[in-house]
Chains A and B, each alone.
Chain A
Amino acid sequence: MMLAASMGSEPYLILGAILFTMGAVGLLVRRNALVMFMCVELMLNAVNLSFVALSRELDDLGGQIAVFFVLVVAAAEVVVGLGIIVSIFRRRQGATADDLSMLKG
């Protein structure tokens, strides 16, 4: 508790911001669907980190409850997303997102 008390939430928030930016940039620049997926996870967990940090600072359990929601939704998303990626692999050689542009206008 001493350690936690001595540190403010600032470092956590900075780390969360760095992780989020990494995820966002990775999502935009990478072509592999699997990697993009991991980037999305990274962004979600960066937000989770900010939630937990702020929850502690404000002494409000709401932030931690939000984290549980995000985890549940992320788990569901992983199931659906991986299912899609598997089916893409079955049809094509790789999982390059730019190849899947049949719905363009």
Chain B
Amino acid sequence: MTDTHKTIVVTGVGVVSPYGIGLDRLEAGMLSGTCCLERTKDDVYPGFEGTTAPVRGLPPQASSHRYSRTDQLAVMAAQDAMESSGRDSSAFREGGILMASTLGGLTEIDAGIAKDPAAWYRRSGGLSRAVSYPFAHVADSVGEHFGICGPRCAVSVACASGAMAIALAASMLLDGAAPMFLAGGSDPLCAFTLSGFNSLQALDPNPCCPFDQNRKGVNLGEGSAVLVLETLAGATARNANVLAVLRGWAMTNDAFHSTAPQKEGTGLADCIRLAMEMAEVSTDEIGYVNAHGTGTPLNDSAEANAYETAFRGRKRPIPVSSTKSYFGHCLGAAGALEAAITIMAARSGALLPTLRLTNPIESPGIDWLRGEVKRQPLPLVMSASSGFGGSNTVLIFESSLS
């Protein structure tokens, strides 16, 4: 029998992506195979030439001089999540907030701060721009904007941040820290990160090809996603619409290298095994894996090894795709956006293909999804995230209450 106090459910999903605001736009865009990656020249910084996926046409009312772009995206996604849950922000007053970001307010800072900080702060708006620099500000922005007073903090674990915020929020719900949580991630396009990934020679100048043998690197995108998480008991008491059940989650670390994943994908494989143990599901029951799939040579081969290990003994190859092929890698938001996509895939029974995947990595245990969207019931789905520093997070969702 289900323990409603120990069952974590998703009752709202908010998204700001290059497709626009809302999960419905994301769903329509992805199911139609629309790719948001575009050629960029001198856009984010002078001299940059490559491929990115920007969010365009943000509503002006969301702008505020105190908010960085990271904060703006987060506030809009949180608003969308609350609307999706059918409640206004007053219902969330006692709720908690765990928002992830790798950048925080770095969008507000420029290289001038390092040359002469005092002069930089004295320049018009320098001091108020710097207020959003600490990455905690992304959680504060959401909390202050909506008057939410529960436990509040930001999470930064490189590219696994968004998924980890969801996992931590779920653990805190079980601990009774708050009646509900807004959990997710937000990261914008920014000269700092584009330059950093460029310096590491990790960017594909063209639209990326995750899991392809000819993959050349990652594209960066921007966006934010926020989930409303609560216990089933809480959701039932309010007659809330349950969008999905978070059946299991796990967090591990490779303890291997600052930027490279462990070659055999052992850390991610362990994470998958732990999440399945928590969810009490077998390898055969998982219908789809939304992979981290950045498109870098090292990540994708390590990840393929992880799936081969974790799903060994499965009767049929595990269906896997990378939705970063649609709108790039949104860094601290990626894990949350992909959690939203995974829930959407499960609810609509859609196996989303990896775009531009023509010559997949040879992995007999993996069904690399490509070509058209396939339709089938997907009761249990998984989202996997990894990041610099070796962090891994796996989330398992169930599309309906069993």
* Pair from one complex: no
**A interface residues, Cβ below 8 angstroms from B:** none
